[in-house]
Homo-oligomer: A and B are copies of this chain.
Amino acid sequence: MARSSISKEALAVEAATEVFSRYGHARTTMGDVAAKAGMSRPALYLLFPDKDAVFAAVIQRMDEQKHREIRAAIARLDGLHAKLLHACKSWGSHGFDLIEAHPDSADLFDLRFPAVRKVYDNFQCLVADLIRDQVKAAGIAIEPEVLARCLVFGMRGLRETARNGKEMRRLIAVQVTMLVRSIDDGS
């Protein structure tokens, strides 16, 4: 029972991820998701209360997956700069690439959706966690959360000036380098 229900839900989220990623929030219907998942529309409503819940589940799943990926990768790296650089390039260019491939998917990064806002909050936490020790050790007066916020939303601004993914990563690298150098207490 519980098992079957979980699996059905996972199937639906998987299907929803595909269609939301391609067509964005506005241009995908519950019918599209249900069809892709091989179930009827009312069956989908048995699993999720409404469309936004499906959307939130998709966003959350993508986010968790990305975080697992990032955490695994940076565990194998040494030093704040290398870790932060990888995390930011990976996280930051993800959205860029997706939108380049499917313009409608820009919805998935619209901060008006609470689920999307949470993605940004989560990444801000990841960054803050990474830099916290070094910020404290260097005796910097700015809270790690604020530094992280500047980096994360700074990266968001970069999207408007970068012409392609490669340039995006280049600019992200500069932002990260600025942050790390600024808290590298002249070591």
> In the assembled complex, how far is the CB of residue A99 from the closest CB belonging to chain B, in whole angstroms?
15
Q: Known contacts being A149-B161, A158-B157, is A177 close to B111, with CB within 8 Å?
A: no
Given known A-B contacts A147-B174, A177-B182, A186-B186, A153 and B157 have beta carbons under 8 A apart:
yes
Residues of B within 8 A of A182 (CB): 177-182
> Quick one: which of A150, A155, A156 has the most chain B CB within 10 A?
A150
In the complex with contacts A154-B150, A160-B153, A142-B174 CB distance below 8 A? yes
Cα distance A150–B160 in the bound complex, in angstroms: 11
Q: Does A171 make an interface contact (CB < 8 A)?
A: yes
Pair A156/B160 contact, Cβ less than 8 Å: yes
Closest to A162 in B: B153
**Total interface residues on A, using CB and 8 Å?**
28
| A146, CB-defined interface residue at 8 Å | yes
> Are the CB atoms of B111 and A178 closer together than 8 Å?
no
Chain B residues near A156 (CB, 8 Å)?
Answer: 157, 160
How far does the Cβ of A98 sit from chain B's closest Cβ, in whole Å?
18
Q: Across chains A and B, which 7 residue pairs bring their CB atoms closest together, nearest first? A: A157-B157, A154-B154, A181-B182, A156-B157, A186-B186, A178-B182, A153-B157
Residues of A bordering B, CB below 8 Å: 111, 120, 142, 146-147, 149-150, 153-161, 170-171, 174-175, 177-183, 186
Q: 11 new A-B pairs (CB below 8 Å) besides A156-B157, A157-B157? A: A150-B154, A150-B158, A150-B171, A150-B174, A153-B158, A153-B161, A154-B155, A155-B157, A177-B182, A178-B179, A181-B183
